[in-house]
């Protein structure tokens, strides 16, 4: 018999602490959690969403839940650990994410683990996806340069990724 994966409110409070629990609850009530989705991972259910941010338009937030507990979390905000691999995700956004999932599980799309999806794709498909990502990064670089040429760091940029003039392979 498996218990419900949904963490209790107490489990969420234990994970982020009382201060961030209260702030996260307010965020959740404000509808700050959007584009939620869930999928199964080894050892639990992964819950992801974007949450309206203070220093950025939104943060990307994820948590893993199993048997009514929180087992892992990460958030791209400064408190949540940013994009560091060691991110602990003990911030108000993680609280908002989990409390919203408790209250409105139907608002979260159920999907497939992206790793499973990627593992099934051919080398050619993966190459196309990576090229598309690099081109998108290059476009972002162009925007950064237009915004502030003085601050633009050409060494860190992906501007050398040229658009591919060849039509996509049939």
- Write the CA distances from 18 to 22, 138, 144, 169, integer angstroms: 6, 42, 39, 55
End-to-end CA distance of the chain: 49
> Whose Cβ is closer to Zn ion: residue 25's or residue 141's?
25
Q: How far is the CB of 61 from Zn ion (least distance, A)?
A: 6
CA-to-CA distance for 127 and 125, rounded, in angstroms?
5
> Whose Cβ is closer to Zn ion: residue 101's or residue 141's?
101
63 binds Zn ion (CB under 5 A): no
Q: Please list every residue from 33 through 62 that binds Zn ion, using CB under 5 A.
A: none
CA-to-CA distance for 4 and 56, rounded, in angstroms?
33
CA-to-CA distance for 138 and 13, rounded, in angstroms?
41
Q: Which of 62, 77, 96, 98 binds Zn ion (CB under 5 A)?
A: 77
**Stretch binding Zn ion (CB under 5 A), from 70-78, 110-118, 128-136, 147-155:** 70-78
> Whose Cβ is closer to Zn ion: residue 65's or residue 91's?
91
């Amino acid at each position: 018999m498996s218990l419900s994966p949904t963490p209790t409110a107490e489990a969420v409070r234990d994970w982020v602490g009382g201060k961030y629990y209260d702030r996260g609850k307010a965020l959740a009530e404000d509808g700050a959690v959007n584009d939620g989705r869930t999928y199964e991972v080894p050892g639990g259910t992964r819950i992801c969403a974007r949450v309206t941010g203070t220093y950025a338009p939104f943060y990307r937030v994820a948590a893993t839940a199993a048997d009514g507990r929180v087992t892992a979390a990460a958030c791209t905000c400064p408190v949540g650990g940013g994009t560091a691999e060691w991110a602990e995700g003990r911030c108000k956004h993680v609280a908002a994410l989990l409390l919203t999932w408790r209250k409105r599980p139907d608002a979260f799309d159920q999907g497939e683990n992206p790793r499973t999806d990627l593992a099934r794709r051919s080398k050619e498909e993966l190459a196309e996806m990576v090229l598309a990502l690099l081109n998108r990064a290059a476009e972002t670089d162009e925007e950064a340069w237009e915004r502030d040429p003085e601050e633009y760091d050409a060494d860190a940029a992906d501007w050398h990724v040229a658009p591919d003039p060849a039509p996509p392979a049939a």
